[in-house]
Amino acid sequence: MPELEIIGAPQSNYVCAVRIACREKGVSYTLIPARPHSPEVNAIHPIGKIPVMRHGEVTLCESRAICSYIDQAFAGPPLLPRDPVGAAQVEQWISLVNTAIDPLLVRRYLRANFFPGTADGSPDRNAIDAALPEMERHFALLDDAVAATGHLVGEGFTLADINLLPILFYMNKLPESGAMLRRATQLDAYFRHHTARPSFQEAAPPPFPGRQG
């Protein structure tokens, strides 16, 4: 059987999520580092986003579709519950992360710190400060969500958790979000427990090029 290829920048939280899914399923893969809109990515994704996947003659784009393929095409523990309620709850959390949490924490706050577009390259304090009140609400929501079982859905580790953990990894590295995470004690315990998993340790994003930490 051909080896699975994951194509994309290892710093991407979505590339990280796909890599975690592979290891949780026990699937061997090759990571091919590539930036968005590079020829390797454009050949598979119609608008050049990462990650993309190649598995023999099968090509896919979008991390949710790739994770679904990994979960269904290979043996190993299911990453999406097989009961309809649990599956729907996981999909609900994936949608919340992708449409609300990632746009705020990663596309606004993280970008304002690491890729600010300021004249001297310093963090964009206006954008950061504008994001902080809404971020507090997001951290409180997530803290409540994991309090009961230490997972976003049910008693097991699912694609919902896989999708969130890389975002929390980055939040832990920045001052305001790191403080929010430590104040959200249930979420902080969840983060520290699950990022100790071998699958996360292997897939943890490296520093952005030219930056430390």
Read off the pLDDT of residues 168-208 as tens digits, 9 standing for 90 and up.
999 999 999 999 999 999 999 999 999 999 999 999 998 87
> Is pLDDT above 70 for 52?
yes
CATH of domain 4-73: 3.40.30.10
For residue 46, cis peptide bond before it (omega within 30 degrees of 0): no
Average pLDDT value for residue range 109-124: 92
46 confidence band (pLDDT: 50, 70, 90): very high
Q: Where in the chain is the domain with CATH 1.20.1050.10?
A: 84-203
Q: Where in the chain is the domain with CATH 3.40.30.10?
A: 4-73
What is the model's pTM?
0.95
Cβ proximity of 153 and 79 under 8 Å: no
Pick the CATH number of 84-203 from 3.90.800.10, 1.20.1050.10, 2.102.10.10, 1.10.357.10: 1.20.1050.10
pLDDT at residue 128, rounded to an integer:
97
Average pLDDT value for residue range 78-107: 97
